[in-house]
Chains A and B, each alone.
Chain A
Amino acid sequence: MPEQPQTTLSRRQVLGGMAVGAAALGAASGCVPPGAVARSGPKDLPALPPLEIIALNRMAFGPRPGDLEAFRALPGRNSREKFVAYVEQQLEPARIDDKECEARLASLKTLGKSLEQLWREYYRQVPEGEKRYETVYRPTDETKFATLIRAVYSKRQLQEVLADFWHNHFNVSPDRDERIAPTFAHWDREVIRKHLLGNFRQMLGAVATHPAMLYYLDNATSSRAGPNENWSRELFELHTLGAENYLGVKRQRDVPGFAQGQPVGYVDDDVYEATRAFTGWRVNDNTDEPGMSDSGTFHYHAPDHDRFQKTVLGRYLPPDQAPTKDGNDVLDALAEHPGTARHISRKLARRLIGDNPPQSVVDAAAKVFHEQRKAPDQLKQVVRTILLSEAFAQTWGDKIKRPFEVFVSMLRATNAQLNPNKAGEIMWLLWQLGQPLFGRIPPDGYPDYKEAWSGTSSLLERWRLAQGLAGDWWGEAIRSEVVKQTPTRKPKEVLEFWVRRALGRPLASQSQTAINAYMKEIRGGNLTEPLSDEDAKWFIPLTVAAVLSSPDFQWR
């Protein structure tokens, strides 16, 4: 390697960064000590970018090359009309040609398998031995790879954003139980993806009867002799009404609206009664008990069910109802409750707009959610309401990307190529960033507040990731080859090219000044002379990493 001038960096130094090794994992999960980051006032927020930038960073995982151009080519006289066209396009994922992305998933064989196949091939018939664990977790691992690949390459970006949302909403940790792992590919396909623009009640039914959830929240072992309230508790508190509608320890009849069959919220007794309603909702996981098979599918086991009358959310469930009717009545009551409409709408708005979405948007979405509760495309209508709200187009910087978004958007901006056969080698990067895919153990899903993701370890790991991706530190697993992609060798044009690519808009002036000074320093003051091929090899990755490390790239 030729000698570098004193003030510039050698390629060795750039690549040397990778030797730092696996280090501090972000503490960036869970709750936030209140006041850790001051609540922001509007004056502290960054300038509002063009609407297409907002759309591509919140309805998608950031722009890939060509995305901005495609957006601008949509029908419409102005960006608002084009935006509406984009929303409608993304709300119909099945109509978007996604063959290129699907082709990348071809080697992942477990994705399309039925529950019975997964149960048999990846759990029941797996021999003991060293490889057992690997096989049992293969469907989960392939789901992780597919999730990452789709987030990066799928043109159905809104679908991927929503899959991320619903996976967190109905969080399941495959590490909790060896029987969850083989079924996880099916959970992703038939529960999360199938319903994410569909009907909430149907989704809830799929959730409640899937082995992944039945094992994760222990309902599979809940019986009239030994009831387990875990599932029912989280069903009320996280999945439907939310803690905001929890009224604590109180008699059911003391809840306003109870007499009319419309209590305003729920109390502990509702959770206990619902627990009884779900007793006997199990998984076909043995042949020892009469009436059961060993297929991994849902099974209603009447002998375990508490057959007597229950009262849940002001509804009377008479004794000896038909199989599963008690539980389905509970799901009906929850899905129809206006509190559920508000809770889900607020969460969706928080994800799609910002940490503190205006009440008017939440109310409008909740109204649609409630009125369209029987519609097969209920959730599509709710999402549309949020996306087309004024707040969506007028809010920026009330949030930063979560680590998964950071990772995916960096891959998209750099047009990096992920090798599906080596995806396992880089999943630890998400762990390092503090948000491993499907790695949230508690049932609440990863937090969706900025404070959770702006802690010390979290930001440091983003900055390191930027260096690694731009510098191609991970061999065959991810190739970004930013040098090859850069059409110019003039330093200033290099920056302009990558700012356009990664941000689609100019840098904030503070960031522009900072990166200019940095380029000057590493280049020894000379920003006019074109880069030699040898200099381009280190200068371009460093410039790209600088852009990806900027606050501009973190906002959403």
Chain B
Amino acid sequence: MNRRNFMMGCSSAIAAMAGAQITSLTFATSDGGSDDVLVVVFLRGGWDAISVLPPLDGPDRAAYEAARPHLRIPIRGKNAALGLNNQFGLHQSLEPLLELYQGKQLAIVLAAGMPTSDTRSHFDAMRYMELGTPNQNSTTTGWITRHLQASPAKSGGLSLPAVTIDAATAASLLGSPEAVAMRNPREFLLVDDKDFRKSLTKLIGDLYKGDSWLHAAGRRTLATIRLVEQIKTEDYKPAVKYPEHEFGERLKTLASLLKQGLSMKVATVDLGGWDTHQWQGEHGEGYLAELLGQLSGGLAAFYKDMAAANLTRKLNIVVMSEFGRRLAENASRGTDHGHGSAMLVLGGNVNGGRLYGTWPGLGAEQLYDRADLRATTDYRAVIAEILKFRLKNERIGMVFPGYSLGQPMGIVRG
């Protein structure tokens, strides 16, 4: 199937649907599925990867200090960057993740992003990334939707194959009828009241007892509702204390779902607020430092919670953002939309404790458009490796039309 087949859209893609149907049937009869779960954490707004991984030495440090007289992260003293090696540090707000990096569970991909797209629009960049089709925002399915279509089917049992911990499903799940959005399982109910709900559930079950496709769809929906109903998140006792913010709450909800043993394949969680055009904070503290603290605190708690249940072996967390930010700070002590970013990969089968990707450098001639960190690693390469080696999806060309995985970087064991 070529790129154009995918672009056709479902309003007319009868042929493409028929083609894909054969594929999923083929897989349904084959074995060799994977238990792994992919958790995609999307940082909305474009995170300042240069502050996340400040250069420590050499010409990059000089270029960095010159471009960011106020925003630069110090090398020593208060709020000094945590050294990863001689070249790069980690923002001190990410300290909770340092242990995971040193424990080889966390890998960092430098200068990741969309090398094939020039856009600096949030709207387009997020769309491109989540649909999995850079420079095309009219694709009618998201990359995770296509991954679910392409990957081995599990037989039997109830499952929540794809969940977004939010009010609406992520664009990466566009067009997936199996995807469920919930901020909290408590909201995925027919009605609040328990007694009333019982009567109503019985009514719906009785109404949809018939033979038609609609009756079958109604029963499937009811089964999912009942499944979610049994999840007692309010009674959930995590193994660690989660930080008290929305992101922490969402990850806690996700942990409670994952620990139910549901055959979940993919989950998405967002953390917004990264569009730091002004006052992002100086001397390694302030707004961005706090936001990074939320990210690292939430992730570290989630990871430890999952580790306590011995579940990290099947866990693959990817942290990504639509782009990075400009090297030079602006007059409002913030940074404008840039290009290359950074990705984090966290999990029990990650070859962590290493930096991946090619560092393009911060010299004027090395920058993208003479202004931004270049994107040297395609975000699709990182995801494709995980899909192929951990989630056992061989059909990368279906997930990312027109893209093929080259020499793997070896971020995960497979």
Q: Does B80 contact A (CB under 8 A)?
A: no
Smallest Cβ distance from B318 to chain A, in angstroms? 21
**A517: contacting residue among B182, B187, B206, CB under 8 A:** B206
A-B pairs, 7 with minimum CB distance: A30-B175, A455-B177, A514-B206, A23-B187, A17-B191, A34-B21, A31-B10
Asked if B213 contacts A40 (CB within 8 A), the reply is: yes
Asked if A454 contacts B177 (CB within 8 A), the reply is: yes
Name which residue of chain A comes closest to B182, CB basis.
A24
Pick 21 A–B contacts, CB within 8 A, sort by A.
Answer: A16-B192, A17-B191, A22-B187, A24-B167, A25-B181, A27-B180, A31-B13, A32-B17, A34-B149, A38-B213, A39-B213, A44-B211, A248-B4, A249-B4, A442-B139, A454-B214, A460-B225, A463-B200, A510-B209, A549-B207, A551-B215
CA distance A110 to B225 in the complex (A): 43
Which residues in chain B, 197-223, are within 8 Å of chain A measured between CB atoms?
199-200, 202-204, 206-218, 220-221
Asked if A33 contacts B177 (CB within 8 A), the reply is: yes
B14 partner residues in chain A, CB cutoff 8 A: 244
B195 partner residues in chain A, CB cutoff 8 A: 9, 13
Q: Does B253 contact A (CB under 8 A)?
A: no
Known: A25-B181, A450-B213, A511-B207. A16 touches B191 (CB 8 A): yes
**B148: contacting residue among A33, A441, A448, A457, CB under 8 A:** A33
Asked if B12 contacts A451 (CB within 8 A), the reply is: no
Known: A17-B196, A463-B204, A518-B202. A32 touches B212 (CB 8 A): no
Asked if B178 contacts A31 (CB within 8 A), the reply is: no
Asked if A244 contacts B191 (CB within 8 A), the reply is: no
Asked if B10 contacts A449 (CB within 8 A), the reply is: yes
CA distance A253 to B177 in the complex (A): 42
B218 partner residues in chain A, CB cutoff 8 A: 459, 551
Supplied contacts A447-B140, A454-B217, 19 more A-B pairs, CB within 8 Å: A24-B180, A27-B178, A32-B175, A33-B20, A37-B217, A46-B212, A238-B9, A400-B214, A442-B137, A442-B138, A447-B10, A450-B214, A451-B177, A456-B177, A460-B225, A510-B207, A514-B207, A549-B203, A551-B218
CA distance A191 to B235 in the complex (A): 55
Smallest Cβ distance from A459 to chain B, in angstroms? 4
Known: A17-B191, A40-B212, A459-B217. A34 touches B18 (CB 8 A): yes
Tell me how many residue pairs across A and B have CB atoms closer than 8 Å: 239
For A20, A27, A45, which residue has the most chain B Cβ atoms within 10 angstroms? A27
CA distance A209 to B140 in the complex (A): 26
Name which residue of chain B comes closest to A242, CB basis.
B12
CA distance A347 to B12 in the complex (A): 9
Asked if B138 contacts A443 (CB within 8 A), the reply is: yes
Asked if A464 contacts B206 (CB within 8 A), the reply is: no
B168 partner residues in chain A, CB cutoff 8 A: 25, 431
Which residues in chain A, 231-259, are within 8 Å of chain B measured between CB atoms?
234, 237-238, 242-244, 246, 248-249
Q: Does A365 contact B (CB under 8 A)?
A: no
B213 partner residues in chain A, CB cutoff 8 A: 37-40, 44, 450, 454
Smallest Cβ distance from A109 to chain B, in angstroms? 30
Asked if A43 contacts B176 (CB within 8 A), the reply is: no
Asked if A24 contacts B9 (CB within 8 A), the reply is: no
Asked if B211 contacts A464 (CB within 8 A), the reply is: no
Residues of B within 8 A of A (CB): 2, 4, 7-15, 17-18, 20-21, 24-25, 123, 127, 137-142, 145, 148-149, 167-169, 173-183, 186-193, 195-196, 199-200, 202-204, 206-218, 220-221, 224-225
Known: A20-B189, A551-B212. A522 touches B179 (CB 8 A): no
A554 partner residues in chain B, CB cutoff 8 A: 214
Name which residue of chain B comes closest to A516, CB basis.
B206
Q: Does A140 contact B (CB under 8 A)?
A: no
CA distance A403 to B272 in the complex (A): 29
Asked if B181 contacts A442 (CB within 8 A), the reply is: no
CA distance A17 to B24 in the complex (A): 39
Name which residue of chain A comes closest to B218, CB basis.
A459
Name which residue of chain A comes closest to B191, CB basis.
A17
Asked if A21 contacts B199 (CB within 8 A), the reply is: no
Asked if A36 contacts B207 (CB within 8 A), the reply is: no
Name which residue of chain B comes closest to A399, CB basis.
B214
B190 partner residues in chain A, CB cutoff 8 A: 17, 460, 463-464, 467
Smallest Cβ distance from A71 to chain B, in angstroms? 26
Smallest Cβ distance from B187 to chain A, in angstroms? 3
Asked if A457 contacts B181 (CB within 8 A), the reply is: yes
**B12: contacting residue among A21, A243, A457, CB under 8 A:** A243
Known: A13-B196, A455-B178. A448 touches B187 (CB 8 A): no
Asked if B181 contacts A27 (CB within 8 A), the reply is: yes
Asked if A515 contacts B203 (CB within 8 A), the reply is: yes
A455 partner residues in chain B, CB cutoff 8 A: 176-179, 217, 221
CA distance A53 to B162 in the complex (A): 38
A463 partner residues in chain B, CB cutoff 8 A: 190, 200, 204
Q: Does A193 contact B (CB under 8 A)?
A: no
Asked if A34 contacts B17 (CB within 8 A), the reply is: yes
Asked if A32 contacts B217 (CB within 8 A), the reply is: no
Which residues in chain A, 456-475, are within 8 Å of chain B measured between CB atoms?
456-460, 463-464, 467
CA distance A467 to B190 in the complex (A): 9
Q: Does A397 contact B (CB under 8 A)?
A: yes
Asked if B204 contacts A243 (CB within 8 A), the reply is: no
Asked if B11 contacts A445 (CB within 8 A), the reply is: yes
CA distance A43 to B145 in the complex (A): 31
**A16: contacting residue among B4, B181, B193, B215, CB under 8 A:** B193
Asked if A31 contacts B9 (CB within 8 A), the reply is: yes
Asked if B145 contacts A24 (CB within 8 A), the reply is: no
B191 partner residues in chain A, CB cutoff 8 A: 16-17, 20, 464, 467
Name which residue of chain B comes closest to A442, CB basis.
B138
Which residues in chain A, 3-33, are within 8 Å of chain B measured between CB atoms?
9, 13-14, 16-17, 19-25, 27-33
Smallest Cβ distance from A46 to chain B, in angstroms? 6
Name which residue of chain A comes closest to B208, CB basis.
A551
A343 partner residues in chain B, CB cutoff 8 A: 12
Asked if A457 contacts B210 (CB within 8 A), the reply is: no
CA distance A33 to B2 in the complex (A): 18
Asked if A29 contacts B174 (CB within 8 A), the reply is: yes
